[in-house]
Structure 1
Amino acid sequence: EWPGGKNLATTPAIWKKMFEIIPSDAFGLNYDPSHLVWMQMDEVKPIYDFKDKLFHVHAKDVKVYPEKLNEVGIMAYPLDYHSPKIPGLGDVNWRGFFSALTSVKYRGPVCIEVEDKAYEGSQKDVEAAILTSRNYLKQFLA
């Protein structure tokens, strides 16, 4: 669930509090860097801060449109100033992202999440999105 929906776990400050309240090794994050980017936050630093709580990672990008953000402000409905994209077509720092995952020795799943409207028209479009994303992300994988 996206920040602002039914998801309470939206920011590093909230994550820290959650893990203090529920100190379980079985409780962790489904980390989506695009959520932090559209909230105007650093998407790489939390990887280091929560390295032991990364259970699952999404590979989804987002394009923030500054001209729209300047018009509607950060408190607007998020889709009023950004668009979900496949990796490589948005503002996520993928080199820094995968460098951080490598540095913290993350070995869990990284799942390509297709929410890019340009690739949602058909099954073939979704398959093309997955292949295009994989081909782009390969440059960052060892």
Structure 2
Amino acid sequence: MRSITLFTGQFADIPLEILATKAHQWGFDGLELGGHIDLHKASTSQEYCQEILSLLSKNNLKLFAISAHLVGQAVCDHIDERRHRSILPEHVWGDGEPEGVKQRAAKEVIAAAYAAKNLGIKIVTGFTGSSIWHLLYGFPPIDPQQINEGYEDFAKRWKPILDEYKKCDVYFALEVHPSEIAFDIVSAERTLNAIDNHSSFGFNFDPSHFGYQGVDYIEFLCRFKSRIFHVHMKDVDFDWNHPCEAGVFGGHTIFGDPRRFFNFRSLGRGKINFEKIIRTLNQINYQGPLSVEWEDGDMDREVGAQESLQYVRRLDFKRGNIQFDAAFSK
């Protein structure tokens, strides 16, 4: 059975000492740290890393991955103080000059690789940002060269980062997601091509972001089976047969607005076919953790985390090594 972890990003306001105790009491096997770790400090201080590991061990928890989502977003984005300053450490934001922010963000993503190495883990999950997301809809007409330049910019900024990951024997797992350089199957393939299929780059599979777009998330697992480095378990509700007021990308509404086409839900309360996902993960031999990323604005988060854990625990199963009818010949 795979380990079940909690992504701590949605609980970042709770001190790690308290959250670790709660996660243990709830029954999680470990954590994916998001917002509970100083990446720069962890990249240079073994003592700091040991403090984190000891705290988790005291609560019978393991560490499976750390997050560089927020700082990774700034590597390729068009930097906007109103959007980016609040999500970045002050030493990354600096004077706010866009190119400087991008370069310091890249250094921080590299620091995450060294932090992971010091912590004895192999996976950093995160975002990449995108210089061409604003060109998603093709009107006024977009010169194809503009899209090419976006992937060239991604490759220029991320290849040096990924080379450092390779030195650390650590992998970067991009959460394929709107506003990133890869947000569906086609763009994920183009992303890999842009970096010459760099061996240190793969994906953090989160089915919720495929479901509301109408993207085949089972095909994503099959197509990129050797690149599935980490898995987020997150549900989403949508209804293709029910007209709405705000479409697939939300119509500039906030999450939770009932006018939206989709809203994230506690596991088992949305439309994602997790049974099929588990069977496909078995088929592609994914043995990593299943990390609960809980996002449901209508539910108490501690209740939601616990029910999501129990849902995944019931759903997950080990793949058999014999066909059921093979026993008949014995």
Measured against the shorter chain, the TM-score band is: 0.7 to 0.9
> Are 1:20 and 2:193 counterparts?
yes
**2:207–2:233: 8 Å Cα contact kept in structure 1?**
yes
What is the CA distance between 1:73 and its match in structure 2? 4.2
Shift of residue 115, structure 1, vs aligned partner:
1.1
Kindly state the Cα deviation for residue 141 of structure 1 after the two structures are TM-superposed. 1.3
TM-score between both structures, scaled by the size of structure 2: 0.38
**Structure possessing the higher relative contact order (Cα contacts under 8 Å, 6 or more residues apart):** 1
Does residue 106 of the first structure (1) align with residue 281 of the second (2)? no
In structure 2, how many angstroms separate the alpha carbons of the residues matched to 1:93 and 1:11? 18
2:214 is matched with: 40
CA shift for structure 1 position 89: 0.3
Preserved CA contact (<8 Å) 2:205 2:228: yes
Q: Is the 8 A contact 1:112 1:133 kept in 2?
A: yes
Question: 1:128 aligned to 2:303?
Answer: yes
Cα offsets for 1:13-62 (capped at 9, x unmatched): 11111112222221011111000001012221111111111111110000
Aligned to 2:313: 138
CA distance in structure 2 between the aligned counterparts of 1:136 and 1:76, rounded to whole angstroms: 28
- Write the distance in 2 (CA, Å) between the matches of 1:55 and 1:3: 16
Give distance in 2, aligned partners of 1:76 and 1:62.
Answer: 13
Look up the SS of the partner of 1:118 in the other structure: coil
> C-alpha displacement at 1:3, in angstroms?
3.4
What CA distance in whole angstroms lies between the structure 2 residues aligned with 1:76 and 1:30? Answer: 23
Q: Quote the RMSD (CA, aligned, Å).
A: 2.0
Deviation at 1:76, TM superposition (A): 4.9
Runs of 4+ in 1 over 6 A off after TM superposition: none
Distance 1:4 1:54 in 2: 18
In the alignment, the residues of structure 2 paired with residue 57 and residue 74 of structure 1 have an alpha-carbon distance, to the nearest angstrom, of 23
SS in structure 1 at match of 2:237: strand
Aligned residues with identical type, % of pairs:
26
Specify the structure having the higher radius of gyration (Cα): 2
SS of residue in 2 equivalent to 1:131: helix
Q: CA deviation at 1:135?
A: 1.1
Distance 1:114 1:74 in 2: 20
Rounded Cα–Cα distance in structure 1 between residues aligned with 2:191 and 2:282: 25
Unaligned runs of 5+ in 2: 1-126, 128-175, 318-330
- Amino acid across the alignment from 1:14: S
Cα distance in structure 1, aligned partners of 2:250 and 2:232 = 24
TM-score, length of structure 1 as denominator length: 0.84
Query: Which residue is equivalent to 1:122?
Result: none
* Alpha-carbon distance in 2 for matches of 1:116, 1:134: 14
Give the secondary structure class of the aligned counterpart of 1:84.
strand
**Cα distance in 2, alignment partners of residues 110 and 134 from structure 1:** 10
Shift of 1:130: 1.5
Amino acid at match of 2:217: E
Q: Equivalent residue for 1:9?
A: 182
Contact 1:43 1:92 in 2 (8 A): no
Partner of 1:91 in structure 2? Answer: 271
Whether contact under 8 Å (2:248, 2:262) holds in the other structure is no
Distance in 1 (alpha carbons) for counterparts of 2:178 and 2:189: 18
Quote the residue 2:149 is aligned against: none
Specify every segment of 5 or more residues in structure 1 that has no aligned partner in the other structure, as ranges: 120-124
Paired residues, what number? 135
Q: 2:181, 2:191 within 8 Å by CA — same for their partners in 1?
A: no
